[in-house]
Chain A
Amino acid sequence: MSRTQKTVYLAVLLSMAIILHIFESYLPNPFLFPGAKLGLANIITLVTIVLFGVKSGLCLAVLRSLVGSLLGGTFLTFGFFLSFAGAVMSGLIMALLYTVGRQRFSLVGLSVAGAIFHNLAQLTVASIWANHFGLFLYLPYLLFFAIPTGYFNALVARLIVRQLAPRLGRDGAV
């Protein structure tokens, strides 16, 4: 794959992630539970980590959070810090599990772990912001939403990877 091809693919993936990020912020919370969300943009982070490597995936996570919040008008608000910390943390943990636990975890494991670390990062930021660490009492409840949404996101990511991998000359079995 040439440099140009890679740049184009990453640019398209990034724009998809940004669109999903903004689209999701327009949706009312489907769980009636603050903090629990679908995390659609994480699908793209996952796809990018698997297809283009850890560095590209992390860049994508950071950039989509920055650009998404700039376009959505939430840059430097409380919500931005939550989503930024969540995106970076879940990107890091997915990258870690992908490189260290290679072949051991499938997309499902990566995605669920990413979802949970997203929640952990959010709770940490919210606790520091509110100066009250009792917010972590909320974690077990968030966990029960993170597992099914993480699973769902992994299924979507698998569909995308299966379609994209052959075009990139990669093995699509993940």
Chain B
Amino acid sequence: MTRYDKILIGSLLLFGLVALFGLRLLTAGRQGGYVEIRRGNEVVERKPFLPVGEKEILVIEGPLGESRVEIVGDKVRMLDSPCPDKTCVRMGCIGTPGQSVVCIPNQIVITVTGETDGFDAVTY
């Protein structure tokens, strides 16, 4: 091994370690990924979860009126909906990728998606 080999390998190792720890910091506490809100077939909102303790209310206009979706830290729920049965509100909080809250009368679907845009795994 020459001196240049050592420089090459050393800098690659350093890059790997920095990237690894950088990624850990970036992705810490965000296991759930994104909240995706659809009206009919159209995605109207796509937001990452918030740090624990913070809240955000999104207002989505549906055929019946305004639905209010609340993101609380790493969970999301339908806070209020103009639908007659309120099934969506009673579904409570969700936070695991793949879970969803559906309001059929107001045509709104809240889905939690993972970091990887719907791919469970890529294999070859």
Q: Are B23 and A140 in contact (CB under 8 A)?
A: yes
Question: Smallest CB-CB separation from A34: which chain B residue?
Answer: B123
Q: Are B116 and A126 in contact (CB under 8 A)?
A: no
Q: Are A82 and B5 in contact (CB under 8 A)?
A: no
Question: Smallest CB-CB separation from B5: which chain A residue?
Answer: A109
Q: Are B2 and A106 in contact (CB under 8 A)?
A: yes
Binding site secondary structure of chain B: helix
Q: Does B64 make an interface contact (CB < 8 A)?
A: no
A12-20, A49-57, A65-73, A129-137 - the one binding chain B: A129-137
Find chain A residues with CB under 8 A from B116 CB.
132, 134
Residues 27 to 70 of chain B near chain A (Cβ within 8 Å): none
Question: Smallest CB-CB separation from A74: which chain B residue?
Answer: B124
Contact of B2 among A34, A78, A109, A137 (CB under 8 A): A109
Q: Are B122 and A143 in contact (CB under 8 A)?
A: no
Find chain A residues with CB under 8 A from B2 CB.
104-106, 109
Find chain A residues with CB under 8 A from B119 CB.
130, 132
Find chain A residues with CB under 8 A from B123 CB.
34
Q: Are A112 and B16 in contact (CB under 8 A)?
A: no
Residues 96 to 124 of chain B near chain A (Cβ within 8 Å): 115-117, 119, 122-124
Which residues of chain B have a CB within 8 Å of any CB of chain A? 1-2, 4-5, 8-9, 12-13, 15-17, 19-20, 23, 115-117, 119, 122-124
CB distance from A77 to the nearest CB of B (A): 8
Q: Does A96 make an interface contact (CB < 8 A)?
A: no
CB distance from B60 to the nearest CB of A (A): 26
A112-B12 in contact given A106-B2, A132-B117 (Cβ < 8 Å) = yes
A112-B8 in contact given A130-B122, A132-B116, A135-B122 (Cβ < 8 Å) = yes
Q: Are B12 and A116 in contact (CB under 8 A)?
A: yes
Q: What are the nearest 6 A-B pairs in CB distance? A: A109-B5, A143-B16, A140-B19, A104-B4, A140-B20, A140-B16
Question: Smallest CB-CB separation from B117: which chain A residue?
Answer: A132
Q: Does A144 make an interface contact (CB < 8 A)?
A: yes
